[in-house]
Amino acid sequence: MTGAVTGAVTGAVKELGRIVRVFPALLKVGLAEAIAYRAEFVVWMLTTTLPLVMLALWSAVAREAPVGRFGEAEFTAYFLGALVVRTLTGSWVVWEMNQEIRTGTLSMRLLRPIHPFVAYAGEHLAAIPMRAAIALPAVFVMVALVGGERFTRDPRLLALAPLALAGAWAITFLAMLVIGSLGLFIQKSVALFEVWLGLFAVLSGYLVPLELLPPWLRAVSAWLPFRYMLGFPVEVLVGLATPAQAVAGLAAQAAWALGLAVLAAVVWRAGLRRFEAHGG
């Protein structure tokens, strides 16, 4: 029994070491693909600018009177923060997985000596610098025009903000892996992902700050992953959360990420057995 546990731990350590060695190469490949398909990449980026539309809408409302504690300046800071979070944490792996499953090219990925999840992660992490290069300059211009005093200057929140962004990316990516893996069972899991996106828009703070939702809906959002994909990191960036609330939010992000990682692994293994049985 002890020997089996020791062997498993040794194997896991070796696998982790191999991932660490090849991950820089995966990042290079992902960046090269993002540059090669830069036109499609820009089009995809333009679909994430909804926060600017909501900024214009809510700013017009706030000119008449504040909405809760949100005046025009607060809405500007919030939705600029939402644009930053959405830009840096977005992913499209669910569409990539569905295409590879339907066309059979997933078989080629399975022949590689690295787990497909690791390869997907490397490819999508590598695209973040390009996404930032496209979207963040516009944010900096708008912040310069309206003033940056509404963004947090608390050093504790500034230190926790990168962790909140990393947690949001992990939840987004892992949730997509779960739904993408369902494509091994159903013809197009993208349709299921459209439902997920609808829930995300309402319950993440993407369309409206969560504290402006009805109390019952706000309570529901606190128990779902969507808030931790966008609303929570935005609250950290603009100072709507206290340091204690930020730490609690990070713990919730870690719990969701771990749960989704386990679920993705389970769905993937079950689906892969079905995929291989059908000659994939």
Q: What percent of the chain has pLDDT over 70?
A: 76
Let me know if residue 5 belongs to a domain: no
Q: Are 202 and 178 in contact (CB under 8 A)?
A: no
Terminal C-alpha separation, the chain:
36
Task: Please check the confidence at residue 252 and state whether its pLDDT lies above 80.
Answer: yes
d(CA 49, CA 90): 12
CA distances from 83 to 17, 115, 134, 224 (A): 35, 31, 12, 21
Let me know if residue 145 belongs to a domain: yes
Residue 209: the pLDDT is 93
Residue 199: the pLDDT is 93
Residue 71: the pLDDT is 86
Q: How crowded is residue 214: how many other Cβ atoms within 10 Å of its Cβ? A: 8
Let me know if residue 6 belongs to a domain: no
Let me know if residue 11 belongs to a domain: no
Residue 20: the pLDDT is 62
Task: Please check the confidence at residue 4 and state whether its pLDDT lies above 60.
Answer: no
Residue 8: the pLDDT is 45
- Predicted confidence band of residue 34 (pLDDT cuts 50, 70, 90): low
Residue 1: the pLDDT is 52
Of the two residues 210 and 25, the one the predictor is more confident about is 210
Of the two residues 107 and 27, the one the predictor is more confident about is 107
* pLDDT tens-place string over residues 225-247: 999 999 999 999 888 899 999 99
Residue 204: the pLDDT is 94
Which domain does 46 fall in, by range?
Answer: 22-277
Q: Are 217 and 132 in contact (CB under 8 A)?
A: no
Residue 5: the pLDDT is 45
CA angle, corner 228, sides to 74 and 154, nearest 5? 50
Our count of domains for the chain comes to: 1
Residue 47: the pLDDT is 56
Least confident of 22-36, 83-97, 120-134: 22-36
Return mean pLDDT, the chain: 81
d(CA 119, CA 89): 17
d(CA 192, CA 182): 9
Let me know if residue 12 belongs to a domain: no
Let me know if residue 7 belongs to a domain: no
Residue 246: the pLDDT is 95
d(CA 118, CA 256): 19
* pLDDT tens-place string over residues 175-193: 999 999 998 888 777 888 8
> What is the 3-state secondary structure of the chain?
CHHHHHHHHHHHHHHHHHHHHHHHHHHHHHHHHHHHCHHHHHHHHHCCCHHHHHHHHHHHHHHHCCECCECHHHHHHHHHHHHHHHHHHCCCHHHHHHHHHHHCCHHHHHCCCCCHHHHHHHHHHHCHHHHHHHHHHHHHHHHHHHCCCCCCCCHHHHHHHHHHHHHHHHHHHHHHHHHHHHHHCCCCCHHHHHHHHHHHHHHCCCCCCHHHCCHHHHHHHCCCCHHHHCHHHHHHHHCCCCHHHHHHHHHHHHHHHHHHHHHHHHHHHHHHHHHHHCCC
Q: Which two tokens stand for residue 31?
A: 């960046």
Q: What percent of the chain has pLDDT over 90?
A: 32
d(CA 7, CA 120): 28
- Predicted confidence band of residue 138 (pLDDT cuts 50, 70, 90): low
Q: Which of 52-56, 79-83, 184-188, 263-267 has the highest mean pLDDT?
A: 263-267
